[in-house]
Amino acid sequence: YKVIEGEKLRKELHNTILELKGNIRVFCRVRPLLPDEGSSTEGNIISYPTSMEASGRGIELTQNGQKHSFTYDKVFAPDTSQEEVFIEISQLVQSALDGYKVCIFAYGQTGSGKTYTMMGRPGHPGEKGLIPRSLEQIFQTKQSQQPQGWKYEMQVSMLEIYNETIRDLLATNKSSADGTPTRVENGTPGKQYTIKHDANGNTHVSDLTVVDVQSVKEVAFLLNQAASSRSVGKTQMNEQSSRSHFVFTLRIYGVNESTDQQVQGILNLIDLAGSERLSRSGSTGDRLKETQAINKSLSSLSDVIFALAKKEDHIPFRNSKLTYLLQPCLGGDSKTLMFVNISPDQASSGESLCSLRFASRVNACEIGTPRRHT
Ligand code: ADP
């Protein structure tokens, strides 16, 4: 009885906090300086919290003598560990099991730490990112809620949006040796995937591979497959820079056999394409087309979030594949968190300022809490 009471209280408290704050939050994460960075660019200084203990809500950037101050729900200092970041979002992940639609985005220029935040550092288990940590938490909770009568089914899909075209990242790997997940729908590589939303707010992407999963290990296997299928392009900024949005979706169906309660939650974890501007990445030809597609979808995302928070009549979901795909998970009582990843390198201050401005536009929409941004 105590467990149920505690659980009820937790949910009520969480929902009250959300009601007060609105359902959109922005966390800023500043990554550490990399060994080859640190060249000084005169007059451009980024001031951010220098330690996890001192982490607060403010970040400042001085460029050409002009100071720009920003406030977010949280600013993580460079020494913040993956575990410390996860502690701040674990409640949000949990709410997907409670039946909510959740979206967590990583936004920032190439090399700012988006993939590190989402996936972690390959080969360093202690530096796992929030996708593996979320999965561990979800599957642990699945186990721990069994005695209370809860049974969950989970399905995973992974896609990327490249040049406004959807690519199924699980389509090409159809092997199903013993122990690998059972495929419930088949995908076809090279196909035009179309997005449809039904009356119940469920999204269907035609022919997208959706896989039933029973364990973290199975999802890890699929994540590896997806990583090898991702398209990467070469820019002057980073050879492995990602020019596509990566969308990881976990659908959760829960039923309580004692009470007949049912829940349907979705957890979308999205590693967005690099937000760098055209001139910086030296784009021409195909690269130019890619950059334009990226800019279009990123500005559509900010337009949608802005319109939602201002409760506008028309929400421009259809302006990009990304926002149309995520439409049911961005409105209503869904929960959205945006990480804005920042490089502390002074040479990146121009891009950092753009990212901070983007995030402040998204964050400024917190309902009922007007804020000043310069
Ligand atoms: P992006 O996905 O934005 O292009 P990455 O996640 O690949 O950027 O990060 C660029 C580099 O910085 C990688 O070598 C990554 O391991 C490192 N890095 C990013 N964030 C952190 C962090 N918080 N702590 C340590 N290293 C980091």
- pLDDT, tens digit, for every residue of 307-337? 887 788 899 999 999 999 999 888 888 899 9
Percent of the chain at pLDDT exceeding 90:
49
Phi-psi bin for 292: left (phi > 0), alpha (psi -120 to 50), beta?
alpha
Lowest mean pLDDT among 49-58, 108-117, 154-163, 232-241: 232-241
Any ligand 1 atom below 6 A from CB of 114: yes
* Ligand 1 site, residue 108, Cβ cutoff 6 A: yes
Q: Are 280 and 262 contacting, i.e. CB atoms less than 8 angstroms apart?
A: no
Atom 12 of ligand 1, nearest CA residue? 113
Residue whose CA is closest, atom 21 of ligand 1? 31
In the predicted structure, residue 103 carries a pLDDT above the cut 90? yes
Atom of ligand 1 nearest to the CA of 119: 6
Please check the confidence at residue 236 and state whether its pLDDT lies above 60.
no
Asked whether residue 234 is marked as a ligand-binding residue, the answer is: no
Task: Report whether residue 341 contacts ligand 1, using a CB cutoff of 6 Å.
Answer: yes
Ligand 1 contact via 129 beta carbon (within 6 Å): no
The answer to whether 111 is annotated as binding is: yes
110 assigned ligand-binding residue: yes
Q: Is 56 helix (H, G, I), strand (E, B) or coil?
A: coil
CA 105 to CA 327: how far, in whole Å? 14
**Is this complex scored with an ipTM above 0.90?**
yes
The verdict on the CB of residue 32 being under 6 Å from ligand 1 is: yes
Nearby residues of 264 by Cβ (< 8 Å), 6 or more positions away: 99, 251, 252, 253, 254
Give the dihedral sign, CA 320/325/328/333. Answer: negative
- Is 216:132 a contact under the CB 8 Å cutoff? yes
Q: How far is the CA of 89 from the centre of ligand 1 (A)?
A: 19
Is 112 touching ligand 1 by the criterion CB < 6 Å? yes
Fold of 21-363: Kinesin (3.40.850)
Helices and strands counted in the chain (H then E): 9, 15
What's the CA-to-centroid distance between 35 and ligand 1, angstroms?
Answer: 12
Tell me the CA–centroid distance for residue 300 and ligand 1, in Å: 26
Asked whether 344 and 39 are in contact (CB, 8 A), the reply is no
Q: Is the pLDDT of residue 202 over 80?
A: yes
pLDDT per position as a tens digit, 244-296: 899 999 999 999 999 999 999 999 999 999 998 766 555 677 777 888 888 88
Weakest-pLDDT range from 101-105, 151-155, 368-372: 368-372
Find out whether 115 is annotated in a ligand binding site.
yes
DSSP type of residue 120: B
Q: Is the CB of 243 under 6 A from ligand 1?
A: no
Domain ranges across the chain? 21-363
Mutation test residue for ligand 1: of 31, 80, 235, the one with most atoms within 8 Å of CB: 31
